[in-house]
Amino acid sequence: MARDAPLAAEARWAELLYERSRAALAGGASPFVALLVREGALVAEAANEVRQRCDPTAHAELLAIRRACAALATRDLTGATLLTSCEPCLMCLGAALAARLARICYGLPLARLAELLPSFRPAGAGERPPDVARSMEMARLRRPDFEPLFVAWTRGREVRDPASTGGIEQ
Ligand SMILES: [Zn+2]
């Protein structure tokens, strides 16, 4: 179901997403970033804030959806596209369904992240609720290539935090 290339209109958002992810990594954070686009405009963006907030639900995708809803004073994001540097977890897919997003474009597949970081145990990695296939389009962003950002991050993390075996803060 996933398509290999983003729509032309989404290519520039993919570039912005990459820049935001790269900047987050350069700032010492993880490269998990999400953008919420609707009707050709950027409505919201967010980075992973799990550690800062001590909140395991503070994934970039979920925060971007919350901010977009707040900015537009709606709980219905019909027609909107979520662009995210890594394939969303089940929690974020559930939030995307609740918000009625039309489309999700993601960079790194979760399965690849699990290979880069063997301690990573995402809930339902690689699984998608049946509702996702019925009501939302999922497309992988091939360009830019987000994998090098995650490679750099997982290597840095292993160096900085060698004792950590407790998973990852997506
Ligand atoms: Zn998530």
Residues designated catalytic:
61
Measured in residues, the chain has a length of: 170
pLDDT tens, 139-162?
999 889 999 999 999 988 755 554
pLDDT tens, 32-50?
999 999 999 999 999 999 9
pLDDT at residue 133, rounded to an integer? 78
Please give the model's pTM, rounded to 2 decimal places: 0.86
Percent of the chain topping pLDDT 70: 84
Q: Quote the ligand 1 centre to 61 CA distance (angstroms).
A: 6
Residues 19, 53: Cα–Cα separation, whole Å: 23
Q: Quote the ligand 1 centre to 89 CA distance (angstroms).
A: 4
Q: Quote the ligand 1 centre to 54 CA distance (angstroms).
A: 15
Instruction: Return the closest-CA partner of residue 33 out of 159, 138, 153, 157.
Output: 153
Instruction: Return the closest-CA partner of residue 95 out of 125, 46, 62, 69.
Output: 62
pLDDT at residue 33, rounded to an integer? 98
Q: Quote the ligand 1 centre to 56 CA distance (angstroms).
A: 9
